[in-house]
């Protein structure tokens, strides 16, 4: 069996690459050197090696507590969703804005044969941590943009974006790309922020612009998925967070 990195490189669409894939850091870097400048405080932090090192122990639990205020446990719901989405057999899965790979590796635990999970992120600091801490025989990482996914249409059986969409500068475009690369019959799963009365206390629109963090309206994400042709759209609200799943019609 070929390596996971080889299998993922074979999935890339040459017409969508910013450069020849560079494998020197243990992941496939396909971004043009000038194309990954972070915008907003939150995005700048995500490119920081120090944050990448403490993400699992400090940053993630803090955001989990924030999202869970006024709702059920966000972390437990995320674990249930991961179990439901875990790939099987030779399926191909994509984890968009994967960070240090906390969700990427668990998605691969039931794969076999040529099955593979791809973790994609724009931050080299996060990907270096992912390669170090969350590698696997059926896991490979790509440095690329969520706004221009470097894969052909209809590539993946499942595409997820968990706890990241609120930091992506053009989230609707990212959702469109997620829908594009999902196979007919494939699944999409998103976990992101939700605007509630409490969030109006936590931050204004000015604070959102400075930080780069966004709170989404209740019908915003579900509406985008329907606009891009997805069906069976379901939303579960938990405090200031929302879990949204959908399927691409065959």
Is 80 exceeded by the pLDDT of residue 174?
Answer: yes
Q: Provide the pLDDT for residue 37.
A: 57
Residue 203 has pLDDT above 50, yes or no: yes
In Å, what is the CA distance from 68 to each residue of 140, 202, 212?
31, 14, 21
Q: What do you get for the CA distance between the two ends of the chain, in Å?
A: 30
Model confidence, pTM: 0.87
The structural domain count of the chain equals 1
pLDDT on residue 85: 84
pLDDT, mean over the chain: 86
The pLDDT confidence band at residue 248, using thresholds 50, 70 and 90, is very high
Q: What is the CATH number of the domain that holds 173?
A: 3.40.50.150
Between helices 220-227 and 171-181, what is the axis angle to 10°?
40
Residue 33's H or E segment, with its range, is none
Rounded CA gap, 244 and 237, in Å? 9
- CA dist 230 → 20, 147, 180, 218 (Å): 32, 18, 10, 17
**Which tokens in the block code for residue 137?**
């025989």
Residue written as tokens 């509406």? 223
What percent of the chain shows pLDDT beyond 70?
76
pLDDT bin (cut points 50, 70, 90) of residue 210 is very low
Least trusted range by pLDDT, from 63-72, 229-238, 241-250? 63-72
Asked which of 23-27, 78-82, 176-180, 205-209 is least confident by mean pLDDT, the reply is 205-209
User: What six digits make up the tokens of 109?
Assistant: 């635990």
149: pLDDT strictly greater than 70:
yes
pLDDT on residue 7? 97
Pairwise pLDDT comparison (212 vs 189), residue with the higher score: 189
In percent, the amount of the chain with pLDDT more than 90 equals: 64
Q: 199 is in which domain, residue-wise?
A: 4-247
Kindly list the strands in the beta sheet with 139-143, ordered across the sheet, starting from the edge strand earlier in the chain: 28-29, 139-143, 116-121, 92-96, 156-162, 182-193, 241-247, 231-238
Binning pLDDT at 50, 70 and 90, where does residue 207 land? very low
- Residue 59's alpha-carbon distances to 45, 46, 198, 228, in angstroms, are 11, 10, 20, 32
pLDDT in the model for residue 86: 83
Q: Kindly report the number of other CB atoms within 10 A of residue 139's CB atom.
A: 27
Higher pLDDT, 151 or 204: 151
Q: What is the pLDDT of residues 220-234, one digit of tens each?
A: 999 999 999 999 999
List strand residue ranges (DSSP E) for the chain, in order. 28-29, 92-96, 116-121, 139-143, 156-162, 182-193, 231-238, 241-247
Which three-class secondary structure state does DSSP give residue 196?
coil
């Amino acid at each position: 069996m070929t390596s996971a990195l080889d299998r993922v490189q074979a999935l890339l669409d040459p017409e969508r690459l910013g450069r020849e894939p560079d494998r020197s850091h243990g992941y496939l870097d396909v971004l043009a050197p000038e194309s990954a400048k972070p915008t907003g405080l939150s995005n700048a932090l995500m490119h920081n090696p120090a944050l990448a090192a403490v993400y699992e122990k400090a940053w993630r639990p803090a955001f989990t507590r924030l999202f869970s205020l006024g709702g059920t446990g966000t972390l437990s719901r995320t674990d249930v969703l991961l179990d439901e989405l875990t790939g099987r057999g030779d399926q191909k899965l994509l984890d968009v804005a994967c960070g240090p790979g906390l969700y990427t590796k668990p998605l691969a635990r039931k794969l076999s044969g040529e099955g593979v999970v791809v973790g994609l992120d724009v931050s080299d600091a996060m990907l270096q941590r992912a390669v170090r801490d969350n590698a696997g025989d059926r896991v490979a990482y790509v440095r690329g943009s969520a706004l221009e996914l470097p894969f052909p249409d209809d590539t993946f059986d499942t595409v997820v974006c968990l706890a990241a969409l609120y930091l992506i500068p053009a989230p609707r475009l990212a959702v469109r790309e997620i829908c594009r690369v999902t196979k007919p019959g494939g699944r999409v799963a998103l976990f992101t922020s939700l605007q509630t009365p409490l969030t109006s206390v936590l931050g204004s629109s000015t604070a959102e612009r400075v930080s780069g963090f966004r709170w989404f309206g209740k019908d915003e994400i579900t509406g985008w998925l329907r606009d891009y042709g997805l069906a069976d759209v379901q939303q579960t609200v938990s405090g200031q967070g929302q879990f949204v799943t959908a399927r691409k019609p065959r």
